[in-house]
């Protein structure tokens, strides 16, 4: 059993510049499987709930799963777990590409990084060993420049990297970690890297991955490929459209459903949405789809050099979430603005969701007279639909310059600073900015945003079911139970570590078949789902200890206001319906009325309240 694991953790202490290998015991492996499971369990065991997210006591856990580096399709992602400087709670974040395969080839299932270097460094993990290298010359450089420098210096072929830009170094609270063409986007993991003076990590390995039951695994892999092939062959395939034009392909449908957050949630529909959709960008700019390791979808859209009013730029995407946050939410209808904004966000290393919501918040404050319209220095004017204001604010946030310093703290802290009742329209939950969906329209999103351990996260929500009218968007009956089930399922799948697109397509039994034949374990579907629930509750317990209690399971007041173009045949979100949804959710979870897991439920999951 367990042939597909290295059964090792690599611990890197930046304070002492020491490294150590630690075994991962088989009972631990069988209980937590890998990926998110390993990261959450190690983090909650080792990082005090009182730790400063930007202090040396915080730790970073980079983990892969049992299917990483195998022939199983859509299992290329890598998981990072740490304490979020944005929310103060636990954060798990993911990126695809080729990094996961490289980590798996080193023989390590987890890389744990702790302490704080006394100057800027990068770390190399290669067959030659582990090196911590001083790199003052990389201070302030764009992520791509840093990654290329690390690759050149390593002298190692097939090195894959992740790193931060200026935003991470300046501890912008939603700074991201970029891995080549992919991003560990949410929660400010880049700021944690920056607080530790860790500019980049380069990884290369030479090991292969074996499985417990090669014949059975081959059958399970073949069935998974067949499932994806059948889906991709359909003209209505969502994954197929992602492979043709990227994740922005669904913007038209979302807009038609009056679910595209526009002008800071004042509107549900963007008249110019077609101009910034995935189809429009793919048609206007030469684009090549790129894939993560072992993926049939190839949803990454890589563009050639594009001439814009800001000069020539090279970029990818932008993803749908970016076209929302820096497009419709800020009332920008020029695709060149999105290409430039996306390029800057990747150079500086910033989560485009939190970035765009922070910029839209500033624009909303200016429109309400809370911030001066000349807050950017007079020109450009701080207002919706002003591309110059968007680009200028990205620079100011990354440099923590002027009003950008306040916005670099995220909208919760920014609203507290400007006051004037702005917390009522600050688009955040638990300190994390909204993803690209509207609780006003979608009850599943209302429950998901409010209850997510990460904050206003869309990763575990019935989005497709609501958009495609499988269930009514404004229905509340059974919605909380459905969300809890999805949260459990996605958490379980993230132990493997699967792309979310696999969850869209593969039935649960295929995940379990891949797991069992690769590892030699004997998981049932029920046990697998129970693991996802246990991880969810473990995160919840940590957040409660960190002071994030049931009072944080809420939505801002703006979600209970009716947008100007709200459909006449739809029902707005009411506080009464939201209270019912939350009560139903707590009941489904086996939590008490304050959102605390009960001892009985924890015991059933094999967890302890302490």
pLDDT single digits (tens) 515-572: 999 999 999 999 999 999 999 999 999 999 999 999 999 999 999 999 999 999 999 9
Is residue 119 included in any domain, yes or no?
A: yes
Tens of pLDDT, residues 217-248: 999 999 999 999 999 999 888 888 888 888 88
Residue 250 maps to which CATH number?
A: 1.10.569.10
Least confident of 293-302, 412-421, 479-488, 517-526: 293-302
Is residue 185 included in any domain, yes or no?
A: yes
Domain end point (choices 415, 433, 451): 433
Same domain, 368 and 513: no
Cis link prior to 167 (omega < 30° from 0)? no
Where is 114: in which H helix or E strand? strand 110-114
Q: Mean pLDDT throughout 21-41? A: 98
Burial of 155 (0-12, 13-18, 19+ CB in 10 A): exposed
Structure tokens given for 69: 């580096």
- Rounded CA-CA distance 353/360 in Å is 11
- Rounded CA-CA distance 195/319 in Å is 28
Same domain, 369 and 501: no
Q: What is the DSSP letter of 572?
A: P
Give the Cβ contact number of residue 211 at 10 Å: 23
- Rounded CA-CA distance 70/163 in Å is 25
Longest CA–CA separation in the chain, Å? 68
The per-residue DSSP string of 415-465 comes to HHHH-TTGGGT--EETTEEP-S--TTT-HHHHHHHHH-TTSS--TTS-HHH
User: What's the pLDDT at 383?
Assistant: 97
Tens of pLDDT, residues 243-292: 888 888 889 999 999 999 999 999 999 999 999 998 888 888 877 788 88
Is residue 500 included in any domain, yes or no?
A: yes
- Rounded CA-CA distance 270/3 in Å is 52
Same domain, 397 and 526: no
Same domain, 151 and 281: no
> Which SS3 state, helix, strand or coil, does residue 363 take?
helix
Residue 179 pLDDT exceeds 70: yes
Residue 334 pLDDT exceeds 80: yes
Domain end point (choices 502, 521, 548): 548
User: What's the pLDDT at 159?
Assistant: 96
Residue 55 maps to which CATH number?
A: 3.60.9.10
Q: Using 50, 70 and 90 to split pLDDT, how confident is the model at 501?
A: confident
User: What's the pLDDT at 272?
Assistant: 96
Structure tokens given for 284: 């206007």
Same domain, 147 and 199: yes
User: What's the pLDDT at 608?
Assistant: 85
Torsion of CA 484, 490, 491, 492, to 10 degrees: 110
- Rounded CA-CA distance 85/177 in Å is 14
Q: Using 50, 70 and 90 to split pLDDT, how confident is the model at 610?
A: low
Same domain, 228 and 277: no
The pTM for the full model equals 0.97
Is residue 512 included in any domain, yes or no?
A: yes
Q: Mean pLDDT throughout 429-446? A: 97
User: What's the pLDDT at 239?
Assistant: 86
Same domain, 129 and 169: yes
Same domain, 384 and 286: yes
Residue 358 pLDDT exceeds 90: yes
Residue 481 pLDDT exceeds 70: yes
Is residue 445 included in any domain, yes or no?
A: no
Domain ranges, residue 376 = 243-433
Same domain, 373 and 353: yes
Same domain, 266 and 214: no
Is residue 8 included in any domain, yes or no?
A: yes
How many domains in the chain?
2
What rounded mean pLDDT belongs to the chain?
Answer: 95
Same domain, 250 and 212: no
- Rounded CA-CA distance 12/61 in Å is 10
Q: Using 50, 70 and 90 to split pLDDT, how confident is the model at 352?
A: very high
Structure tokens given for 245: 């034009």
Where is 12: in which H helix or E strand? strand 8-13
Is residue 146 included in any domain, yes or no?
A: yes
Q: Mean pLDDT throughout 112-135? A: 97
Domain end point (choices 548, 566, 596): 548
Is residue 133 included in any domain, yes or no?
A: yes
Same domain, 77 and 145: yes
């Amino acid at each position: 059993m367990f042939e597909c694991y290295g059964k090792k953790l690599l611990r890197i202490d930046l304070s002492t510049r020491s490294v150590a290998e630690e075994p991962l015991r088989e009972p631990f492996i069988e209980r937590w499987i890998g990926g998110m499971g390993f990261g959450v369990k190690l983090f909650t065991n080792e990082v005090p709930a009182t730790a400063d997210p930007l202090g040396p006591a915080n730790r970073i856990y980079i983990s892969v799963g049992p299917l990483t580096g195998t022939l199983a399709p859509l299992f290329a992602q890598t998981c990072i777990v740490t304490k979020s400087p944005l929310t103060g709670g636990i954060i798990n974040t993911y990126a695809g590409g080729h990094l996961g395969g490289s980590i798996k080839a080193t023989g390590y299932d987890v890389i744990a990084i702790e302490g704080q270097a006394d100057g800027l460094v990068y770390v190399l993990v290669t067959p030659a060993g582990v090196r911590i290298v001083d790199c003052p010359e990389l201070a302030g450089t764009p992520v791509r420049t840093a990654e290329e420098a690390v690759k050149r210096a390593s002298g190692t072929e097939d090195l894959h990297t992740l790193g931060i830009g200026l935003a991470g170094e300046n501890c912008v609270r939603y700074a991201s970690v970029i891995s080549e063409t992919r991003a560990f986007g949410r929660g400010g993991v880049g700021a944690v890297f920056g607080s530790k003076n860790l500019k980049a990590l380069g990884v290369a390995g030479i090991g292969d991955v074996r499985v417990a039951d090669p014949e059975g695994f081959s059958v399970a892999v073949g069935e998974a490929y067949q499932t994806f092939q059948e889906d991709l062959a359909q003209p209505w395939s969502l994954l197929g459209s992602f492979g043709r034009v990227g994740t922005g392909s669904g913007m038209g449908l979302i807009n038609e459903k009056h679910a595209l957050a526009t002008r800071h949630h004042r509107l549900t529909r963007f008249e110019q949405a077609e101009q910034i959709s995935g189809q429009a960008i793919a048609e206007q700019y030469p684009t090549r789809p790129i894939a993560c390791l072992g993926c049939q979808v190839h949803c990454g859209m890589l563009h050639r050099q594009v001439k814009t009013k800001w000069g020539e730029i090279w970029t990818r995407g932008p993803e749908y979430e970016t076209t929302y946050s820096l497009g419709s939410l800020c009332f920008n209808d020029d695709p060149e603005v999105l290409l430039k904004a996306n390029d800057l966000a990747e150079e500086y290393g910033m989560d485009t969701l939190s970035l765009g919501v922070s910029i839209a918040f500033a624009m909303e404050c200016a429109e309400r007279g809370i911030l001066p319209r000349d807050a950017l220095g007079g020109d450009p004017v701080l207002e919706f639909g002003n591309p110059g204001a968007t680009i200028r604010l990205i620079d100011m946030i990354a440099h923590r310059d002027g009003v950008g310093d306040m916005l670099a703290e995220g909208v919760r802290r920014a609203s507290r600073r400007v006051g004037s009742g702005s917390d009522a329209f600050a688009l955040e939950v638990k300190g994390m900015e909204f993803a690209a969906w509207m609780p006003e329209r979608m009850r599943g999103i209302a429950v998901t945003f409010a209850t997510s351990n990460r904050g206003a996260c869309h990763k575990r929500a019935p989005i497709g079911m609501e958009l495609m009218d499988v269930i009514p968007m404004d229905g509340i009956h059974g919605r909380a139970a459905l969300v809890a089930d999805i949260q459990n399922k996605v958490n379980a799948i993230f132990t493997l570590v699967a792309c979310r697109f696999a969850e869209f397509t593969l039935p649960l039994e295929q995940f379990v078949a891949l797991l069992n034949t690769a590892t030699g374990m004997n998981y049932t579907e029920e046990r697998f789902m129970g693991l996802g629930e246990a991880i969810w509750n473990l995160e919840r317990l940590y957040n409660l200890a960190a002071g994030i209690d049931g009072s944080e399971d809420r939505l801002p007041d703006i979600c209970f206001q009716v947008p100007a173009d709200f459909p006449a045949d739809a029902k707005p979100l009411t506080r009464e319906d939201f209270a019912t949804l939350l009560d139903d959710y707590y009941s489904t979870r086996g939590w008490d009325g304050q959102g605390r897991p009960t001892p009985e439920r924890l015991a059933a999951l094999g967890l302890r309240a302490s």
